[in-house]
Amino acid sequence: MGVVFLTIVINLIGFGIVLPLLPFFATDFGASPLAVGGIIGAYSAMQFVFAPIWGRISDRHGRRLPLILGLLGTAGSYVVFALAGSIWVLLLSRIVGGVMGATIPVAQAYVADRSPREGRAKAMGLIGAAFGIGFIIGPAIGGFMSRWGYALPGFVAAGLSLLAAVVAIAFLPESLPVEKRVKPDGWSSTSGVRAAGEQLRVLAQTLGDNRFRGPIGATLLANTGIAAYTTIFPLLLHNPIGMSAAEAGAFFAFAGVVSAVTQGGVVGPVVQRLGERRTAISGTAAVALALIVLAWAPGTSGILASLAFLGAGWGLFNPSLLGILSGRADDADQGSVLGVNQSASALARAVGPAAGGWAFGALGYTIAFHAAAAFLAAAALWLLALKERPSRSVVET
Residue 185 in domain: no
CB-CB neighbours of 203 under 10 Å = 17
- CA neighbours closer than 13 Å in the CB half-sphere of residue 210: 10
89 vs 302, which has greater pLDDT?
A: 89
DSSP annotation of 241: I
How many distinct structural domains can be found in the chain? 1
Residue 277 in domain: yes
Q: What is the pLDDT of residues 194-203, one digit of tens each?
A: 554 555 566 6
Residue 184 in domain: no
188 vs 147, which has greater pLDDT?
A: 147
Q: What is the domain extent for residue 303?
A: 2-174+200-384
What are the DSSP calls for 51-78, one per residue? HHHHHHHHHHH-SHHHHHHHHHHHHHHH
Q: What is the pLDDT of residues 202-228, one digit of tens each?
A: 667 777 777 888 888 888 899 999 999
pLDDT at 295: 84
As a whole number, mean pLDDT of residues 173-191 equals 59
Q: What is the pLDDT of residues 321-374, one digit of tens each?
A: 888 887 777 766 666 677 778 777 778 888 999 999 999 988 888 899 999 999
Residue 181 in domain: no
Taking alpha carbons only, the member of 370, 157, 356, 140 closest to residue 251 is 140
Residue 180 in domain: no
Q: In CATH, what number is assigned to the domain containing residue 317?
A: 1.20.1250.20
Average pLDDT, the chain: 81
Residue 284 — pLDDT band, cuts 50, 70, 90? very high
As a whole number, mean pLDDT of residues 230-249 equals 85
Flag whether the pTM goes above 0.85: no
Residue 59 in domain: yes
Residue 148 in domain: yes
Residue 222 in domain: yes
Taking alpha carbons only, the member of 113, 89, 101, 95 closest to residue 45 is 95
